[in-house]
Amino acid sequence: MYIEDNHASLASLMTCLELSNCKPNQDKVVILQWFHFRGALVGWVMGENIWTRSTILALDDLGYTYLYTRDWSETAATYRMLPTLVAAIFMDSEEIHKCLDEPYCVKTSDNPYGIPVWKMFDFMFWAIHNHPLGKQWTINPEPYGLSAAWQGGATYFGFSIEPSCNTVPFVPHSERAKRRTAFIMSKYMRFFSPGKDTAWEVDDFDYAAEETGIRYISGAKADPANDPPGPMAIPKNLENLGYLNQQEFLQTLAQSTILIGVGMPKTSPTPYEALCLGVPFINPILHWDHNNPEDREGWDSMHGTLKLLDPPYVYNVKRGDRKGFAKAIKSAIENPIDRFVLDRMTLFNVEERMKEFFAKDWKAEAKNVIAESKLLRPLPQSNIVL
């Protein structure tokens, strides 16, 4: 599928260059190598794909030409076609390091038509930094620098869930009150059982249901390769709907009173989607500093940045706090919220940060890094040039 997209983009680019009528930014090319960009094309719905889909939408709105590639070799060949037009390459760290090891790929004194190292950016979902030029060349979906424990320094693009969320009508809370359901955010059935990655036991769910009258729904599935042997315990009044496609999931979530996290998956976009639909989120705190239990810097939570928010939007509840768990559900029932989107997660602000990114002189920044010997790790080839 991406090959047809590339052909159409290249044809449009060549035409506007020949006629000297390119639209703003159309003559600036971004190469999208990370496989999650191609996954977004075919409908993958992991957190990484929600991020890449938002990035593509922002590139569209800003007018950039973008091309998809599969690996460092295809990226190098694509770059050689349009070296002066390529503004940036969004890769994964493994392919970046393969390119840096390959004389054909990276720009060196012996390979003047290779890719300059400063044009390669590491699209990284987590707060991990592997680019030799430093943290600035790592692009993140979350502002991990908000937490001192993670530290800052990376480039924050972020993402917006507004386009998908706004396709789902807001369900009045008077309608939700008739059902009073909590959507349990659990990808697999085993997360209802006690374990190192799970926050609640079945008795916690049952206690909260008795205290609040809440019913539970989920879209969990079995995972035979990793599920424990024998029957798995589940809450008494749970209705598991099984796998839901993205639109079914959003429509079901929009009818819920609250979204309950169970501990995994971490830092998922789903709580943002819930807030946009007027659904608050219980964010389980899995580990904390027992000498200073209210210090959020010491919290290891299911969602690392949403732990900074408070009710009525986010209820941070420590694992094992059964009464606190039920209290959070009760408070969500009594204090419904409207649609809520963090200011930094509007599509407008995503695009504003992207404008700043493309306006920056990354070549000059790379020269400073090398001149001041601030490389995160040595460049593998001594004859690499900028």
| Residue pLDDT, tens place only, 321-374 | 999 999 999 999 999 999 999 999 999 999 999 999 999 999 999 999 999 999
Is pLDDT at 221 greater than 70 in this prediction?
Answer: yes
Q: Do residues 140 and 154 lie in contact, with contact meaning Cβ atoms separated by under 8 Å?
A: yes
Rounded to the nearest 10 degrees, the angle between the axes of helix 47-62 and helix 347-359 is: 70
Q: Output the DSSP codes for 263-290.
A: S-STT-SHHHHHHHTT--EEEEEEE--T
- Predicted local distance difference test score (pLDDT) of residue 194: 67
Please report which confidence band the pLDDT of residue 182 belongs to, taking 50, 70 and 90 as the band edges. very high
159: how many CB neighbours lie within 10 A of its CB? 21
- CATH architecture designation of domain 163-334: 3-Layer(aba) Sandwich (3.40)
Q: Give the pTM.
A: 0.94
CA 106 distance to own-chain centroid: 28
- Predicted local distance difference test score (pLDDT) of residue 1: 67
- Predicted local distance difference test score (pLDDT) of residue 150: 66
Query: β-pairing, 181-185 with 258-261?
Result: parallel
Enumerate the CATH 3.40.50.2000 domain ranges in the chain, comma separated: 163-334
Residues 21-43: what's their mean pLDDT? 96
pLDDT in tens, 118-148: 999 999 999 999 999 999 999 999 999 887 6
- Predicted local distance difference test score (pLDDT) of residue 226: 76
- Predicted local distance difference test score (pLDDT) of residue 172: 97
Buried (b) or exposed (e) across 168-184, using 16+ Cβ within 10 A? beebeeeebeeeebbbb
Please report which confidence band the pLDDT of residue 220 belongs to, taking 50, 70 and 90 as the band edges. confident
